[in-house]
Amino acid sequence: MTAIRERLVLIGNGMAGVATLEQIIKLGGQYDITVFGSEPHPNYNRIMLSYVLEGTQTIDDIILNSHEWYEQNQITLHTGTTVTRIDAGQQIIHTDNGMMVPYDKVIIATGSQSFILPIPGHDKQGVVGFRDIADCHQMIDAAAHYPQAAVIGGGLLGLEAAKGLVSLGMDVTVVHLMDDLMERQLDSVAASMLRKELERQGIKFLMGAQTVELLGGERVEQLVFKDGTTLPAQFVVMAAGIKPNIAVAKESNIETGRGIIVNDYLQTSVDNIYAVGECVQHRESCYGLVAPLFEQGMILAKHICGIDTQPYEGSVVSTKLKISGVDVFSAGVFIENEHQSVITARDDWKRTYKKIILEDQTIVGAVLFGDITDAAPLQKLIRDGAPMTDELYAELMGTGGCDHSKKKSSVDTMADSEIVCGCNGVTKLDIVSAIQEKGLTTVDEIKACTGASRSCGGCKPVVEQILQYVLGDGATIGASQGMCSCTPLSRDEVVAGIKEKGLKTIKEVMNVLEWKQPEGCSKCRPAINYYLGMLDPAQYQDEKSSRFVNERMNANIQKDGTYTVVPRMYGGVTTPEELKRIADVSVKYNVQAVKMTGGQRIDLIGVVKEDLPKVWEELDMPSGYAYAKSLRTVKTCVGAQYCRFGTQDSMGMGADLERRFERLDFPAKFKMAVNGCPRNCAESCTKDIGIVGNDGGWEIFIGGNGGIKARLADSFCKVKTDQELIDLCGAIIQYYRETGKYLERTSEWVERIGLPTIYEAVVTNVENRQQLIERVDLALAQVEDPWQKVINDTPTREALFHKMEV
């Protein structure tokens, strides 16, 4: 006879509640589970909403548990349904649509709500919080229709919202009551550095400003401040704080304060009713950050499953800002008192800052800006109340000749139940078990298996440490398995072998470096061909047979065997004469479709192989290299020539850069963009090199990618003149050509090499930068487009733009 299982109801389909269910399922809890969620979505990663707003992630990308997951675990899910009351006497759940569901145990995980300032006009159209997908949709829609936005609140959520709106092209001002940004997490030094960095990214600030009213008709039009001044804005984001959502608890006569009051086992004042997450008040504290919520959930799951567990005694909170190009971290105490001592290191040139606070020689807090490499170990030291020692000081502050390769790992003292990935609730034990049971050897494999580092990536250093700890000191994590099955040698070993032995041909490389397959394969031959050409551009004879078919045919092969032809349009600009030739050729050769590409060019789709030479000849235009591991396109906005917001000649600069670096071989396809102002209409944030014009010159961003592995570009440096910009771009390109793995995009290259290393090689070391520029010039001098005469005959950008103006 089958035992009757208890009925467990989860009120709230957010991260904390569903993570608790995941733990209950892992622990073998036997319950019939029903979940109610007010939103029309399955469980998603709320902390990734800022990336959805920026456009680097989609809603689908941040779903944590799909509808299939609920079905597989026999969980009944009711989305778009709000629980209004719990009848504890009858043990029945009541919902807003009239449902009545019996229960044996209830978990309330209703999260928190945006705190909307109770000022006149707060209920006008265009005023939102920033807590859920619906808010994101409203913000994206507003950016498409209105130019100006204000964000009230300079805390974590406010800054993330502001950056997202700037990325969407809005003119954004952050209005903050205090004099420092993120004053609950940062000291004045870090706050000042953060403000300067965000101003460089296009965000404006009004500090010490108190909003007292929102004016307008049905829709908000301007903010009014206490001193009588105003700020125009057609969209306002309220990010002045959050408040626990305790409505259902109040209606159910459950004890509440600021949140739902719980004990150390997350029990409320009513039997069989528990609460977890942001709605909870534990020992007078309410937590609005994700890591404590998972710690609560693990303890609650064990308690509900009848497993002995330590009580929940509170959390040491830490903060990490999720804005590309801005690395900020704080944990524990961040502003010292007169009884505490401070260790600091500040570098205004590299824009980094580190502060560690001690009380009686014990580490009690830390603030990091610009370089947060030590965030994970510092968080653990603070949580453990570790004493500062000379050895630890040298390790953390980079003094005393410390060999960082010999740093002691703190992993061995980490509890199995300790959460490593706060975004996804992954513990040390989860990672260790996955490594041991499934033979994982790379961080990417751990990410795919457990979800650790899947979201914000802040836990990646700890994941690497755990992997090294489990595999042993002798193992190399993520060890290369060789370029392919033909050789055990890695990219660096092959390049070193070519240099040391003076190898000149693919055949020599394979013979001397003892390839297992004498002729190589389709994976290694193109790579060796690239490395040889990159190392000796003046002497190496390119082996066309070792290139991919698209490069051999100067066109992209399609699934039906035909090809697409993409002529070059410098900076996205063309002439009526060129357009007429494209039309004539398309008709003559029965082109299946003519498509505008995302790179501001025209794609002729469906050209048969035999017609390719004639098509190119009659187009009489240079190739756009849409098929090659080279510079594909330089996307531009109209810039200062035409746009009322433009501060720089983006079209002109884009054409110059495209003419200069086309034809050059890269490790992988390479895309650039030039914006005439910080509104970013040409989408520099997702390009290998993105350039943004401002009143003082140009800002360079690197490592962006809008493809399968989306990544927002990192802010790299600023330059004042056009020539400096061209030189820096050339140096970056050559450094990537020399250190990148074949088929490795810059988004992966930047993370592997490290932004500080690239900055040192290209910006700080002036002599090295000049050598890089000379080497890229040498490489460019050796290459010639198949249609070079066409390039020489193409009007200069000055003549082209003059014709456009006339």
What residue numbers does the annotated binding site cover? 637, 643, 677, 681
Residue by residue, DSSP assigns 171-207 as EEEEEESSSSTTTTT--HHHHHHHHHHHHHTT-EEEE
* Residue 599 and residue 658 in contact, taking contact as beta carbons nearer than 8 Å: no
Q: Can you tell me which residue has the tokens 């193109």?
A: 526
Pairing of strands 100-102, 171-176: unpaired
647: closest CA among 600, 686, 680?
680
Amino acid type, 149: A
Cβ atoms within 10 Å of 285's Cβ, excluding its own? 13
* Residue 675 and residue 693 in contact, taking contact as beta carbons nearer than 8 Å: yes
Rounded Cα distance between 323 and 81, Å, is: 33
Rounded Cα distance between 436 and 402, Å, is: 32
Residue ranges at the known binding site for [4Fe-4S] cluster: 637, 643, 677, 681
Q: Can you tell me which residue has the tokens 């330590």?
A: 310
Residue 592 tokens read as 């299946």
Cα–Cα distance list, 276 to 27, 111, 287, 302, 383 (Å): 18, 8, 10, 13, 21
Residue by residue, DSSP assigns 201-265 as TT-EEEET--EEEEEESSBEEEEEETTS-EEE-SEEEE-S-EEE--HHHHHTT--BSSSEEE-TT
Amino acid type, 717: C
Where are the alpha helices (H) located in 520-666, listed in sequence order?
Answer: 524-535, 549-553, 576-588, 612-619, 650-661
Rounded Cα distance between 386 and 198, Å, is: 34
Q: Can you tell me which residue has the tokens 């055990």?
A: 488
260: closest CA among 111, 38, 113?
111
Where are the alpha helices (H) located in 643-787, listed in sequence order?
Answer: 650-661, 722-739, 746-753, 755-759, 766-782
Cα–Cα distance list, 396 to 274, 309, 366, 392 (Å): 41, 34, 11, 6
Cα–Cα distance list, 581 to 574, 588, 603 (Å): 11, 10, 13
Rounded Cα distance between 80 and 164, Å, is: 26
Rounded Cα distance between 193 and 349, Å, is: 12
612: closest CA among 529, 555, 536, 679?
555
CA 112 to chain centre: 25
Cα–Cα distance list, 171 to 15, 160, 542, 575, 694 (Å): 32, 15, 49, 33, 14
Beta bridge partners of 634: 672
3-class state of residue 131 by DSSP? coil
Residue ranges at the known binding site for siroheme: 681
DSSP state letter for 589? T
